[in-house]
Amino acid sequence: MQKSNIYTSGNRRKINKAWFTNHVHMKEISSTIKSKEQNIYHVYFEKGAKTKLHVHNGDQILIATRGHGSLELFKRLGKHSSRFMIRKTEAIKLNQGDMVYIPKNTLHAHGSINPRQTFSHIAINILSRKNAEYKTAWYESDFKNTVTGIVK
């Protein structure tokens, strides 16, 4: 067993900037605590940044650690190709200390809601089965009505 601190531990993870609407950085902390059943990240959203729409093949838990953020849930409408219509079904405000569980295959986005303040959370990505690869599909959208394609 090894004690670590989320603010000082972890390896900075290179991320695809196309997955976010503004500047975001993250630290991978699962290897620091030697977790094998989940991937754990500390994600920092700069002022007003959020994720693009996405779905995971496993469950996810978010724990807000700083600032004010939100989790937005969406429903797919019509055909499920790379272009489809969407409808926002819920918007959940996240404040420091709040926790939320996101079931696998839930279309969602999360991040900062204040253009003058950063937001951060711990993301715990729960592997669907032992030694499985946790996968995320990212989408371009207007966050209102339409998904226009897949982000590579």
Return all residues near 30 (Cβ < 8 A) that are at least 6 apart. Answer: 38, 39, 40, 41
**What CATH number has the domain bearing residue 50?**
2.60.120.10
pLDDT value of position 63: 98
Average pLDDT (95-122) is 96
- Model confidence pLDDT, tens digit, residues 40-67: 999 999 999 999 999 999 999 999 999 9
pLDDT value of position 1: 64
Do 105 and 128 contact (CB within 8 A), yes or no? no
- d(C-alpha 147, C-alpha 138), whole Å: 10
The pTM for the full model equals 0.91
Classify residue 50: in a domain, yes or no: yes
Classify residue 6: in a domain, yes or no: no
What is the signed CA dihedral for 52, 55, 57, 60, rounded to 10 degrees?
80
